[in-house]
């Protein structure tokens, strides 16, 4: 999305060495923002052959856009690591003006996805894993970055939910509930930070083509579907995130943009 300049702004995008998070980071850097690339470890970027490493993504962004870009690893299910991520981002860039809480997923405790993945037969460990890696990780990052933004009386937080949180589902029920929780948390945090000129909004993405999406699903033909029915491209979702990070959304806080498909 063109039309505004984020030069001098500093952004942290969680889960940004791959997938949608990488697209968000690329577009923020294209608008002039310095970015912290994050993932659970250096090697996560290579899981679906999206990049050699997290550091390689940061180096590519710095060279391509002429901004400062660094990679930091942290397990967001651990609040102490989240605090260290926020503190290190501030130390390296000087501030966090934009936080995009992108990291998450329907991730089991010991497998890529819970199995069974319903409400009743799902293992307790998988319930904990999904809630930790979506709802709680978002809360941890918002807490530590929000304190920084409140002190500075400036900042934009974009939380990432899912369309799954706004429709009834038979699979991924815990994931959907955690993502719906992010929307309510967003509304409430926005009220707490409203007196400090910190915007807090949420995007609930539609199904989107990423390497993980293609590796874990069978996609039927899209040719006969309308533009608003087809599986989205990463840029479709990123343009909405950019709106929420930029000046056009200065008067918007506490909202969730649900991308119906």
Q: How many alpha carbons lie under 13 Å from residue 203 in its C-beta half-sphere?
A: 25
Cβ contacts of 90-94, under 8 Å, gap ≥ 24: 90/148, 92/36, 92/68, 93/10, 93/34, 93/36, 93/68, 94/10
- Give the pairing of strands 98-101 and 10-13: parallel
Catalytic choice (144, 175, 185, 209): 175
Q: In this structure, what DSSP letter does residue 135 have? A: I
Distance (Å, whole) CA 55 – CA 260: 34
Cβ contacts of 82-90, under 8 Å, gap ≥ 24: 82/137, 82/140, 82/141, 82/144, 83/140, 83/144, 85/12, 85/38, 85/141, 86/12, 86/141, 86/144, 86/145, 86/148, 87/144, 89/10, 89/12, 89/36, 90/148
Residue 208 region by backbone torsions, left for phi larger than 0, else alpha for psi between -120 and 50, else beta: beta
144 belongs to the catalytic site: no
Contact yes or no for 171/122 (Cβ under 8 A): no
How many CB atoms are closer than 10 A to CB 223? 6
* Catalytically annotated residues: 175
């Amino acid at each position: 999305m063109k039309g505004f300049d984020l030069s001098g702004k500093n952004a942290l995008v969680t889960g940004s060495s791959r997938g949608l998070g990488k697209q968000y980071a690329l577009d923020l850097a294209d608008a002039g923002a310095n970015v912290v690339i994050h993932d659970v470890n250096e090697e996560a970027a290579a899981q679906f052959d999206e990049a050699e490493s997290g550091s390689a993504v940061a180096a590519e962004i710095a060279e391509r856009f002429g901004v400062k870009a660094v990679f930091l690893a942290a397990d967001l299910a651990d609040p102490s690591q989240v605090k260290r991520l926020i503190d290190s981002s501030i130390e390296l860039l000087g501030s966090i003006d934009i936080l995009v809480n992108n990291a998450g997923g329907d991730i089991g405790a010991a497998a890529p996805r819970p199995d069974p993945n319903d409400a009743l037969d799902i293992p307790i460990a998988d319930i904990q894993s999904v809630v930790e890696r979506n709802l709680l990780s978002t809360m941890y990052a918002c807490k530590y970055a929000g304190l920084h933004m409140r002190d500075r009386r400036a900042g934009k937080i974009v939380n990432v939910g899912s369309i799954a949180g706004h429709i009834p589902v038979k699979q991924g029920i815990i994931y959907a509930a955690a993502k719906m929780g992010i929307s309510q948390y967003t509304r409430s945090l926005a009220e707490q930070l409203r007196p400090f000129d910190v915007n807090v909004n949420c995007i609930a993405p539609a199904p989107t083509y990423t390497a993980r999406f293609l590796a874990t699903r069978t996609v039927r033909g899209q040719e006969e579907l309308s533009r608003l029915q087809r599986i989205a491209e990463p840029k479709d979702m990123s343009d909405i995130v950019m709106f929420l990070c930029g000046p056009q959304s200065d008067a918007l806080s506490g909202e969730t943009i649900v991308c119906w498909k």
